[in-house]
Amino acid sequence: MFKTEPMEKVRIIAPYSRKPSIIAFMHSHGIIDIRKSSIGLKDDYPAADDQELNELLLKVSGALKLLPKQPVAKAKHLETRELIGKVSGFKEIDAIYSLNAERASLLEEDKELVAAGEVAGYFNGTGIDFSALKSDIMAFKAFLLPTAAVSQFMGALEKGNVLSDSIVRQISKDRSMLFLAYAKDAQINEILSELHPVEIDLKSPILEGTPSAVEDYVARRRSEIGERMKGIGGELSALGSSCYSPLSNYREMLEIELERSGISSKFKRTEETFIVEGWIPKAGLPAFQRALEKFTGGLSYVEILATDELPPTLVKRPAFLKPFDYLMEFFSLPRSDEIDPTWIFIVSFPIFYGFMISDVGYGLASLIFATLITRATDREGLMYNVARVWQLSSVSAIAFGFLSNEYFGFQLNQYFTTFHGLDWTGGSVNSIILLTLAFGISQVSLGLLFGFINNYRKGHAKIAVSKITSLMLVLFGAAAVAGAFFAAFPSGITEAAAALAALSAIATIALSGSEAAELTNLVTHPLSYTRILGFGFASIIISKLIDTAFTPTLSHGALDFGFLLVIFIVLHFLNMILSIFEGVVQGVRLNFIEFFSKFYTGNGTKFNPFSYRRRSSTD
């Protein structure tokens, strides 16, 4: 339950002539995590087709992005050379790229047309003919500037004695267009650099003839472009109907072939054989050996290697609990030579979260929010996996809400059951304190026990024993405190527990300096679990205050009812968000800091088998 899957490191020796088929066999079985061999033989290398495969993959992937998505029918995987021939001869790819290039060109032309039409609009009513703006001795410029700045601008130009002619046209309340005609040798740039107007581009080849003629041409040409764009969309849609499925098949096959080609760089070879090394789950090794021997007709050899190398980490859990593994991996993957604490995290996190929420209404809202997130996010992403854990934990919040008889701060159990629940604000407080302390003592003690097991396995005898003396300190110390302050034990037992706790502390200091430095944490970490009570109590008190002050009633009229209802909902929503945030943060903290710090090393290497998940092709 608390172990990762046992692994064996193996070496496979097989005929070099059978390399492609054996690679395909290993790839389809997906059971071996291939590692670079360190034996003193020549390195193998990827197949000669590697670069061609990569170029074709880029080409196919690019074409697929240009097509509308269509259903994909599965196709049988093709051998490398046949696949290269099929993709190279798929002429529709060139047609797709050609249509896309035409579309890009039309979009660029349309942008130019829009800009030219806008310029023509500035000149409407001015009598300017753009065809006349060509001269060997005169230059022409137009600018946009604030209307209030026109006088200053014109004054500067007249002062510089560079103007031949000008036109000012107000185009909006605060903005004007200024057209200038001046001698080409006039020193106008210095003046313009000081005033910083926005220049209008008059060099577009579309600007020919009068402004109205330009606008007519722009409208007509943009209409033609729109029609052609629709035509391109239709042609791409038609190509998508016939090409999307085979191109998707080819893309997947090319990806698979590239993976198979690239994996050769981890192999060693002789003239007649190639050598593969890697990790295989111990439980699956016999079946893999039999299958490989049958596939190669007895021409392959599998050797189990003795090694001090740390195996990769593989855990097996039901699919609905995989999000907890995702979060553990996000934090730090357990090493294969230590206890996997994920099951404790799976059980304890929902309990801590549920206890800190302790409200059926808040729990149901959590469940709804989490479900919405799972439907809107990628299954492989962090948000999805956090939301899945949140979903499971929300069920715990609903259960603890029933036990606490809290429904958005109201007590409703009496309407359908005789169980009235825990009284957080009255007689149940001491029981809840003791329960949270019991959580802390139990989890910290379990962490120390795991620490003993991990260190004992690694041969760290002193540290292992110091974990036991630390465990004794926690247990005897808790018994001494319970006897002294809560009269849980007779005085004789209390004194003996205190003495044993002191001896345990001395033994821990003598055995291990690192554990001695943790002595204060052995006291503070169990007490830290009382934060469960603190945040749960705060949430319940705030919800009751909201209910007392803002529960809407019709006795004060419809307007007051609506006003109070809005405040009631908003305040409960804010309290719920705060409670959810604290429940998640503190539930994670109690596991990852108070618990894991007693034993957990982490930084394991994930088992990464040489495999491919097929979506649109078959072996």
* DSSP track, 364-377: HHHHHHHHHHHHHS
- What are the Cα distances from residue 349, in Å, to 231, 396, 587, 592, 603? 57, 10, 5, 10, 21
* pLDDT value of residue 18: 92
Which one-letter amino acid corresponds to residue 472? M
* pLDDT value of residue 600: 93
* pLDDT value of residue 161: 66
Inter-residue contact 365 to 576 (CB < 8 Å): yes
Angle CA 314–319–324, to nearest 5 = 70
- What are the Cα distances from residue 246, in Å, to 51, 73, 75, 241? 22, 8, 8, 10
Residue 202, exposed/middle/buried by CB under 10 A (0-12, 13-18, 19+)?
Answer: middle
- The secondary structure of 104-165, three-state, reads HHHHHHHHHHHHHHHHHHHHCCCCCCHHHCCCCCEEEEEEEEEHHHHHHHHHHHHHCCCEEE
* pLDDT value of residue 160: 62
β-sheet bridge partners, residue 304: 10
- Both ends of the chain: CA-CA distance in Å? 35
DSSP 502-525: HHHHHHHHHH-HHHHTTHHHHHHH
* pLDDT value of residue 415: 86
Nearest Cα neighbor of 389 from 602, 580, 600 is 580
Question: Looking at the domain covering 1-44+267-314, what would its CATH class be?
Answer: alpha beta
Within 10 angstroms of residue 352's Cβ, the number of other Cβ atoms is 28
In the chain, how many H helices and how many E strands? 19, 12
Distance CA 285, CA 7 (A): 9
β-sheet bridge partners, residue 303: 11
Inter-residue contact 509 to 519 (CB < 8 Å): yes
Q: Do domains 1-44+267-314 and 134-201 have the same CATH topology?
A: yes
Which one-letter amino acid corresponds to residue 272? E
Nearest 10 degrees: Cα torsion 276, 280, 286, 290: -40
Domain definitions of the chain by residue range: 1-44+267-314, 48-117+213-259, 134-201, 321-418+534-601, 455-529
Inter-residue contact 403 to 358 (CB < 8 Å): yes
β-sheet bridge partners, residue 546: none
Backbone dihedral angles phi then psi of residue 204, each to the nearest 5 degrees: -60, 135
Distance CA 421, CA 413 (A): 8
Distance CA 481, CA 494 (A): 8
- Which helix (H) or strand (E) segment is 241 a member of? helix 211-262
Inter-residue contact 46 to 264 (CB < 8 Å): yes
Nearest 10 degrees: Cα torsion 560, 562, 567, 570: 180
Angle CA 434–436–441, to nearest 5 = 90
* pLDDT value of residue 162: 62
Distance CA 478, CA 462 (A): 24
**Residues with pLDDT less than 70, the chain:** 160-164, 190-195
* pLDDT value of residue 559: 87
* pLDDT value of residue 268: 93
β-sheet bridge partners, residue 175: 146
Distance CA 516, CA 512 (A): 6
As a whole number of Å, the CA-based R_g of the chain is 38
Nearest Cα neighbor of 103 from 247, 235, 238 is 235
Distance CA 474, CA 79 (A): 65
Question: Looking at the domain covering 134-201, what would its CATH class be?
Answer: alpha beta
Nearest Cα neighbor of 32 from 299, 270, 253, 300 is 300
Angle CA 173–178–181, to nearest 5 = 165
Inter-residue contact 186 to 162 (CB < 8 Å): yes
β-sheet bridge partners, residue 416: none
3-state secondary structure at position 617:
strand
* pLDDT value of residue 168: 87
Letter string b/e over residues 451-477, b meaning 16 or more CB atoms within 10 A of that residue's CB: bbbbbeeeebeebbbbbbbbbbbbbbb
* pLDDT value of residue 464: 92
Backbone dihedral angles phi then psi of residue 606, each to the nearest 5 degrees: -70, 135
